[in-house]
Amino acid sequence: MFSHRPLQENDLDAICSLPQNEEELYFMFPKAVYPLTPEQIVEAVKNRLEPTVILCDHIVVSYANFYDNDCESCWLGNVIVSSDYRGKGVSQFLIDTMESIAKQNLKVKKLKLVCHNTNTRGILFYKKYGFKPFDISVRVKPSGEFIAGIHMEKKL
């Protein structure tokens, strides 16, 4: 039902439509300004590895990439799933896909990520699929509100 492939230029508008509001964009891409634009994605991808889209019947339904690969581990970033496809297995397919890419292409032994404390659904999802918290950092939302970034990791 789902497939994946590297990001293509013609995917940018679809990815920009995935965050439904400023908070979702902040969860996905804290440095971006709402609404997300193709230019923001293109700029971010310059410093990212393996930008990947998940497709359902040739429609982009999810996106993620990696950053800060140190040969031992890397960070999963810019994770987003279309609101129309949440709870339908896309998130699990995305995580399985990105774990496989991290192991095979980047040869890392550990995958890390940051999930904001206000994203309860995300924290519980990552815990369910084997990610464990190992640190907390202070984050500042565009509104100026302080929140916690929960650093999580999983051995691959």
What CATH number should be reported for the domain whose range is 2-112?
Answer: 3.40.630.30
Instruction: Name which of 63, 67, 74 is nearest 8 in CA terms.
Output: 63
Angle at 120 between CA 43 and CA 5, to 5 degrees: 40
Domain ranges for the chain:
2-112
Instruction: Name which of 47, 94, 99 is nearest 73 in CA terms.
Output: 99
pTM: 0.97
Instruction: Name which of 54, 55, 75, 52 is nearest 64 in CA terms.
Output: 52
Tens of pLDDT along the chain (156 residues) come to 999 999 999 999 999 999 999 999 999 999 999 999 999 999 999 999 999 999 999 999 999 999 999 989 999 999 999 999 999 999 999 999 999 999 999 999 999 999 999 999 999 999 999 999 999 999 999 899 999 999 999 999
Contact 94, 129 (CB under 8 A): no
**Residue length of the chain:** 156
